[in-house]
Chain A
Amino acid sequence: MNMNKSGLFVILGIILTSNAFGDANDNEIFIAQTGDNVELTIQQIGAGNKYGGDDFSGTSADMIMTVSNSYLDLKLDGDYNKMFGTIATAGSTINNFITGNYNTWNQKIGVANTADTMTIDSAITGNTNSIVFRAGNDDDTYNLGTPLFGQTSAEKFWTVSGSTWSRTATGQQNFWATWNPTAASSDSLDMDLDITGSDNTANIFVNSSNATFNWDVTGSDNWIQTTMEDGSDNKQTVAVTGDYNFIFVGQNTGSTTGITNNAILDATFATTHSDINIIQSDAN
């Protein structure tokens, strides 16, 4: 990593543990970090730990990090942990590792800022975890209480009646109008996500050009939904192993008239009883 002499150079190494979940002794890490060339490693071991911007006593607040060219290594080991993060950054490497069950991860990269040339590696091992991840997207109305698959606009998209199926004429527009990102970017993002476990819910939104997103799911009864929007040359490589999974993949490219934009999906499915929906659109 290049060290900018004029930038702030911080190395934090924190290992915190707790044994109970949900009690007053849980670890709560409030993060408000600004600077360049930050090296930050945090590992929380135990149950009920939290990364965020407040004590989660009421409406939780995201942690806020505005860094660039930095290395962030964030780990949660245990159950019922939470990580709510806003990371405005570019040129950085972020590693997220969550091991355990019933964890909540809501991370926003590049909100109201760019998140270009990023490398993000994430791995979630466990069951019944809830994940919302946005890269290069502005804040939106999405929250854990209104999953994408429950949205009216998404439901409108497909009309299945018995063995016949169709899509509504306006479903496409409605869908993307609802989820169209409005700010920021994450050009040349290289993101990997591995989910091992069952009954996990993951929602990933990427607003990016030349982005590569590789994700693997091994387990059953998972709900995985991803969208890559704006720009061109977005590529998703998908591997799903397990049964009874719901998969939604949306790729919406193209914002320049006269340019063909390349959405590439390379998917491998080893599954049964799964519902898989793929939308590729060039209609911004």
Chain B
Amino acid sequence: MLQHIRTLILYSLTLTSLFLIGSVHSAESIGDIIEQTGVASLVRSGGEELSVSGAFIPGIKLKDTAVTGNGRMLIEFLDEEELSIIEHTRIYIDEAYYDPDPSKSKMAIRMAQGTARFTSGRGKRIKKSNIKLSTPTAEIAILGTDFTTTIDEIGQSLIILLPDEETGEASGKIIITNDGGTVTLEEAYQASIISSYDSAPSRPVVLSGIDSNMISNIFIIVEPKEIQEVKDQEGILNENDNDNILDVDFLEFTELEKDYLAFDDLEFNELDIDFLDVDFLQDILDIVMELDKKTALDRSALQAGIRLDGTKVGFDVDTQYNSLVDKGADTVKFFRNVDGVISITMLLSQSATIRTITDQKESEILLGDGQSIIINITQVQ
């Protein structure tokens, strides 16, 4: 009899534990901000914006958008995953579901803008393959990994696999996938650039001149004049020239000058920029040049002859659309992965208006004169 009672108590405790573990849902905290400096905020799913400061550090909840102005945040999730966000970065926390069965737990995070470092947790509550990370141009699958993403203002992504801090070896493996193909990063400091969702990720390139002490300082990279000189010498055009893939200047973090949250730009100054490593910058340049050779993409040629208003070719931060032009097929694809995936392909010769309403904002894209086809898209939570 005593044995039965013990068994019942054990079952009860087990069930209670399972219930507590499995009861994490949107209304509860799924993580904490464990470090914070400068101007940062959380935007709740309902639109409420919570300013993060030393006096008030809210917990992280499902559907939060983590945004930094002139500030930084380090978020630790329940399974000890860490997300380090630097200045002028925007991250969407789409999913964090903790089930008693780790294989059923899920996490999904979208890196929308800026630079962030993700370190997968050492906990056992989420099977790592169930952690989905994405950028505007790629999906990232991880296997016990520490890596950074840098996303420029047109959505192009630079992903770098970081080493294990103890062994110096690769911290795991990253599989980068989009409509253009898949690449795997499995060496420390191996990197790939992804220019658009239907362009294959670049060939992985190992960066040199980086050590673990510099990891936290490579997030913001400002192109030095030497790099600009090299680009000028080789006929590599700048972003404003809008001429080819090299206009994607991962080294020039102009988004730091943008004010997405009505923060005072004047708050940002050179003291907020981390120091640079010349070797690292040279490697980045190599990657860009390699990508240019590989794709031979000419952005101005893509744009030529296309009447497109309300968004731009490539990734548009404002509309969150990737507009991908295929001159060969004479088509333009509008791809948006926010609260559902919308992919619309039309002929370049068509005339269409695409109106999009979300909980946050509205946008209108015109192809041609926009008069012939009316496409109304509503995405609501």
Contact = CB atoms under 8 A, between A and B. Distances in A.
B375 A278 contact: yes
A61 interface: no
Interface in B332-375: 339-347, 350-352, 355, 357, 372-375
Nearest to B93: A260
* Interface residue SS majority, chain A: strand
A233 to B, nearest CB: 11
A276 interface: yes
Given A257-B25, A281-B380, A271 B373 contact: yes
Nearest to B379: A280
Nearest to A263: B340
Interface in A236-255: 251, 253
Nearest to B25: A258
- Which among B62, B96, B344, B373 has the greatest number of chain A C-beta atoms within 10 A? B373
* Interface residue SS majority, chain B: strand
A273 B377 contact: no
B94 A260 contact: yes
Contact of B350 (A157, A167, A259, A270): A270
Interface in B92-106: 94-97, 106
A40 to B, nearest CB: 37
B139 to A, nearest CB: 12
Given A257-B25, A259-B97, A265-B341, A270 B346 contact: yes
Contacts of B339: 280, 282
Given A165-B355, A267-B345, A283-B380, A276 B373 contact: yes
A269 B379 CA distance: 20
Interface in B102-137: 106, 108
A263 B26 CA distance: 19
Nearest to B335: A266
Given A172-B380, A278-B375, A282-B380, A265 B26 contact: no
A167 B344 contact: no
Interface string A122-144: 00000000000000000000000
- Which among B96, B339, B340, B374 has the greatest number of chain A C-beta atoms within 10 A? B340
Contacts of B344: 265, 267-269
A191 B108 CA distance: 28
B378 interface: yes
Contacts of B95: 258-260
Contacts of A282: 339-340, 380-381
Given A258-B24, A267-B345, A283-B380, A276 B340 contact: no
A279 interface: yes
Contacts of B376: 158, 165, 276-278
Interface residues of A, number: 33
A195 to B, nearest CB: 19
Contacts of B381: 281-283
A264 B139 CA distance: 15
B157 to A, nearest CB: 20
Contacts of A251: 340
A135 B314 CA distance: 38
Contacts of A279: 377-380
Nearest to A280: B340
B343 A270 contact: no
Nearest to B346: A269
- Which among B94, B350, B374 has the greatest number of chain A C-beta atoms within 10 A? B374
Contact of A272 (B25, B94, B351): B351
A276 B372 contact: no
- Which among B106, B108, B377 has the greatest number of chain A C-beta atoms within 10 A? B377
A275 interface: yes
Given A264-B343, A279-B379, 14 more contacts: A258-B25, A258-B62, A265-B340, A265-B344, A267-B342, A268-B344, A268-B346, A269-B373, A273-B373, A276-B375, A280-B339, A280-B380, A281-B380, A282-B381
Interface of A: 157-158, 165, 167, 172, 251, 253, 257-260, 262-283
Interface of B: 24-26, 62, 94-97, 106, 108, 339-347, 350-352, 355, 357, 372-381
6 contacts: A167-B357, A167-B378, A262-B341, A268-B344, A278-B375, A281-B380
Top 10 closest pairs, chain A to chain B, by CB: A280-B340, A258-B25, A260-B95, A263-B340, A268-B345, A264-B341, A276-B375, A272-B372, A266-B343, A278-B377
